[in-house]
Structure 1
Amino acid sequence: MFPTFEKVRELARKKGLSLNQVEEKLGYSKNTLYSLKRQKVSSERLQQIADYFNVSTDYLLGRTDNPAIAGSDEFAQVNGQIIDLRKAAANAMLFDGKPLNEDDIDFITSVLSAHFKSKGER
């Protein structure tokens, strides 16, 4: 069995959708996703599925356990959970309680990304 089917099934479950519902949303015919159990997926279809779930194609192919888009420095996997570093930085506040500006958010995101990379959690 190809790992792509298992990944797609799990992603659909996390969204509260059946595979048939995902097929409908993607405009696929019935049982298209079930065919992933038996055959390799085309690169075009793989990219469509990855885009729909906002994950990397490498994740769908089982080449990485990190679903974040390859090359993205705005996500880290920590204790099995994907953390949106930019969102975490945006939720931080300055010492005086004011929200951060975009430059500060960019800086904190890059610091967090570097930290998690150095720990091997990217």
Structure 2
Amino acid sequence: MLYERLQELIKKSNKSMNQIERELGYPRNTISSYKRQNPSTKRLDELAEYFNVSVDYLLGRENIQNSDYSDEENELIAAFRMEREDMTPDEQVKFNKAVKDLMKYAKERLNDDSIWKK
């Protein structure tokens, strides 16, 4: 999945694979080697940043690119992931439910002008 995603992003960039490797300071054929082997975490992060997508997008764990989100949404996603980082799977389930409940509560409060006037 990784290599296919990279091919797609390279095509969208209108650059060659070799050009991108040069810009990133990678040896020639580094990206094509990802057909057979996985890159290091550092390289995954660099590639995600270069293409402005998440590592999860590169790995095929999600289908929405970061560029589909606003900067504010990306900040919220990053904060959400950071808070969940050290949680057990059971804690993550509880946390997800709490966040969803909090979002519903926040949405209900949107029309209460007394909260927002200060």
TM range (shorter): 0.5 to 0.7
TM-score normalized with structure 1 length: 0.55
Gaps of at least 5 residues in structure 1 are 75-113, 115-122
**Deviation beyond 3 Å, 4+ runs, structure 1:** 69-72
Is residue 60 of structure 2 the alignment partner of residue 68 of structure 1?
no
Is residue 36 of structure 2 the alignment partner of residue 38 of structure 1?
yes
Over 3 Å counting, the alpha-carbon distance change for 1:12 and 1:51 in structure 2 is same
The correspondence for 1:51, drawn from 49, 52, 60, is 49
Deviations for 1:11-70, whole angstroms, at most 9, x for unmatched residues? 111010111111011000000000100011111000000000110000000101111179
Over 3 Å counting, the alpha-carbon distance change for 1:58 and 1:25 in structure 2 is same
Computing the radius of gyration from Cα coordinates, the structure with the larger value is 2
TM-score normalized with structure 2 length: 0.57
**Whole-Å separation in 1 of the counterparts to 2:16 and 2:58:** 17
Report the counterpart of residue 25 of structure 1 in structure 2: 23
SS of equivalent residue, structure 1 residue 41: coil
Gaps of at least 5 residues in structure 2 are 75-106, 108-118
Q: Which amino acid aligns with 1:46?
A: L
**Whole-Å separation in 1 of the counterparts to 2:55 and 2:45:** 6
CA RMSD in angstroms, aligned pairs only? 2.2
Q: Which amino acid aligns with 2:35?
A: K
Q: Percent identity?
A: 44
